[in-house]
Amino acid sequence: MSSELHYKSNLRDTLFQLFEVLEVQSTSLGKAPYSSMDEATAREALKASEKLCTTELQKGFAESDRIPLELDANGNVKLPEALRRGYETFYDAQAHMLTVPEHLGGMGAPPSVGWATFEFTAGANAPLAFYLFGTFAARTIDRHGTPAQKERFIGPLLERRWGGSMVLTEPDAGSDVGAGRTKARDAGNGIWEIEGTKRFITNGDFDVPENIVHMVLARPEGATGGTKGLSLFLVPKFWVNEDGSLGERNGVVVSKLEKKMGIKGSATCELVFGDGKPARGVLLGDVHDGIRQMFHVIEQARMAVGVKSMATLSTAYLNALAYAHERVQGPDLLQAADKASPRVKILKHPDVRRMLMSQKAHAEGLRSLCLYTAWVQDQVEIAGGHGAKEADELDKLNDMLLPLVKGYSSEKAYEQLALSLQTFGGSGYCQDYPIEQYVRDQKIDSLYEGTTHIQALDLFFRKIAKDGGRTLTKQLDEIEKLAKSDAGGSALAEDRAALERALADVKGIFGAMMGKVGESLYHVGLQGNRILFALAELVIGWLWLRQAVAATRGLGERPEDAAFYEGKLAACRWWSKNVLPGLTLTRKLIEASSLELMDVRDEAFG
């Protein structure tokens, strides 16, 4: 097998989750602002995206890892030819217009459909997927920009295929965005001059589009410290005149390309603004509201990272499954004593089955978490959009789910990828198969756009404690409603009982933490990741039970698809028996949380 043709999609599961579990055909499609997209159109778009990714976009995956990016003396990054072709193929297919609103000439697909197609792209070629940020930059300007800014930037971003980047991190600040020192000086006439250095900027430059629009956080002169003093600026690589035509090269250049463990085809850049030449920009929306505006961008990025992790695990699992169907090695364990017993496919070995079912349950469980969160985003927009009173509860639910999507997906995908590689044995460690690149390309997901612990602190303090646990309680009530129902009949009684026990454990976890926070916030620091994982595993357990109910229905309606539905029931049962019971231990560990580790002298770690 060539890792060049590595990607294995799971369109069948995507369609199942969207149309049989979430039922987007009645809950999302055909409702404003998605009025013109019906089920047939959505299905066709999903199939077209999957075909584009499996036949074309995956082709540059291995090459992007093997052929280095090049940085010239003028701060321009040159991509390998395969990535250039992938970028152009994506735009030639008009795939970027799927999620663009109708009023901008796009298809206006809801987030549920949009994120499903992003999974295909990220699974097929993750480095390429992140070069396609220009469309989101256009949507951000459409949401926050002035009429003049929309006229100036959106058309070229969509029609002339401009790139985009989000520019937050600084060398001395790292994840502490509020410590950023990049300055912005008002030069008059609506122009600001940016000065400073930014680091770890994903795709901060590449030579395919004629221009790149950087969305840059900077502190205007005289502004307060911390995050509240930051503003968001549009700083193009080439200046954009008011009529949309291109001017001279702007004062923003790449000073360094990071040498990385993985996702090597993605240009991770150090950008210098205003060194020897002014880096001109415009204030987005003409308002100093940078951190709120950028959080909209960050949330998109965190969702993308979580979906990327899930996509990588899914294709790794399907590659491992295909190998297990083909590889013959050793006798059946029950016949091992007989030297003459036939060799069997490794799929017959119990330990291989254990690893495969773990991968399946996590990959498809993570897909359910990602698509459920995307569905909530559908409902936010249908209810009036971010900031609308009618959408407030849904908005908060989306906010609470995002740390689970980003934090749990990135951590568990990496853990499960080790099982994907293990399924291959020694062959998985070699570049004959794509798994070793998957492992290297995916590890970054737990690090960028906020590390896992940042997600955990965000979940506990900003998404749960800040609103008095109301959003959490409503989600737990939904879980309890299903756990105490008779959904799926007697066949799912054991799974419903397991979910109810896990729910009690999670309630116990939060109850214990409420008491311990009064003693010290260090308890949240010590136990935060466990809390995030426990809530994610409970929510996924609920989603698995919903899948199992839909699968039970599908078995009766479509017996020709029995193997698919039986696989769903088996994976649900596996989650009930192998993941949910672990929440009891997590609860005990959190209830026993102590501060003794914080009392260990620094020198004792030496």
**Cα 23 versus chain centre, distance:** 22
Who's near 137: CB < 8 A, 6+ residues apart? 153, 157, 162, 164, 213, 215
**Separation of alpha carbons 386 and 398, rounded Å:** 10
**Separation of alpha carbons 188 and 11, rounded Å:** 52
Q: What angle do CA 373, 523, 178 make, to 5 degrees?
A: 65
Q: Which of 311, 315, 316, 346 is nearest to 332 (CA)?
A: 346
DSSP letters, 436-487, are HHHHHHHGGGGTTTS-HHHHHHIIIIIIIITTTTHHHHHHHHHHHHHHTS-T
**Cα 391 versus chain centre, distance:** 23
Q: Are 126 and 50 in contact (CB under 8 A)?
A: no
- Token duo for residue 294: 């950028």
Residue 408 is given by DSSP the state I
**Cα 530 versus chain centre, distance:** 20
Residue 69 is given by DSSP the state P
**Separation of alpha carbons 319 and 422, rounded Å:** 12
Who's near 452: CB < 8 A, 6+ residues apart? 407, 410, 411, 446, 529, 532
Active-site annotation holds for 449: yes
Q: Which of 540, 307, 287 is nearest to 413 (CA)?
A: 307
Q: Backbone phi, then psi, for 270, in 5-degree steps?
A: -95, 125
Counting runs of H as helices and runs of E as strands, what totals does the chain give?
20, 14
Beta bridge partners of 70: 78
**Which amino acid, one-letter code, is at 476?**
L
Q: Backbone phi, then psi, for 231, in 5-degree steps?
A: -125, 160
Beta strand segments in 303-381, E: 328-331, 343-345
Strand 212-220 and strand 163-167: the pairing is parallel
- Token duo for residue 407: 């934090």
**Separation of alpha carbons 69 and 267, rounded Å:** 7
Q: Are 421 and 439 in contact (CB under 8 A)?
A: yes
Q: Are 541 and 502 in contact (CB under 8 A)?
A: yes
Name the catalytic one among 170, 270, 449, 537: 449
The residues annotated as belonging to the active site are 449
